[in-house]
Amino acid sequence: MDPMRKLTFKGFLTQYVKDLSYAGTTDLATLAEEATHNNFRLRAPLLLYAVKWEKTDLLRSHFMKADGAEELLHMLSSLEKIELEDALENGKLPEEYLKVWNSFKVRRDKPKNEEELKESMRRKILQLQQAKQCSNYRLYKDLKLNPGNINSWLKNGDGSKVSYQTASRIITYVMQY
C-alpha cells in the first residue's frame, strides 16, 4: 500500500480557500469580490493562497477594482517580499495569518498525533487488561472486532491494524470491564 502523500501548505490553502468561499471556488475574481465585501474570514487565507500559487498580480488586479481593498493590497505586497513559510513558522506575521498556519499544522500532523495517541492507549489497555483480567478474546468478541487485527495491535504494537476510533472503543470497554 502506498503511503498517503504528505499535505503541503500549497495544497492545504487551495482546499481551505475553497471551503471558506461562499461559492466553493478558487476563482480569484470571485474570491476577491467575496473578501472585499462580505466574507472577511477569507482575507488572510486568500492572500496566502495568492502568494503560494504566484497569482499575486492577478489578485492585485481584482483588488484594484474593489472598494476598500487598500489594506489588502498593502499586505499582499508585504507577503510577496518575505519567505512565507519561514515567517509563519516563526510567528512573524499578524495573528490572522498564523491561525491559517496553525490550522495547516494541525491537519498535517493529525496522522502522526493519532498514532502516538493509539500507542499510549495500547499501553494503558495492556495495563488495564492485566489488572482486570480481560483477555483479547473478550475484547474482540464483545466489541465484534477482527481478532487478527486486535491481536496484532495489542501484542505486536502494529498501529496500522486499528483506527483511532477503534482504539478509543477498546479503552472505554476495558475501563468499564
Q: Does the structure show a pLDDT above 50 at 2?
A: no
What are the pLDDT digits (tens) for 130-152?
999 999 999 999 999 999 999 99
CA-based nearest residue to 136, from 174, 165, 175, 166 = 174
pLDDT digits (tens, 9 = 90+) for 5-30: 789 999 999 999 999 999 999 999 99
What is the C-alpha to C-alpha distance for residues 166 and 163, in angstroms, rounded to an integer? Answer: 5
Alpha-carbon distances of 147 from 143, 160, 168, 174, rounded to whole Å: 10, 14, 17, 16
For 46-78, write each residue's pLDDT tens digit. Answer: 999 999 999 999 999 999 988 778 899 999 999
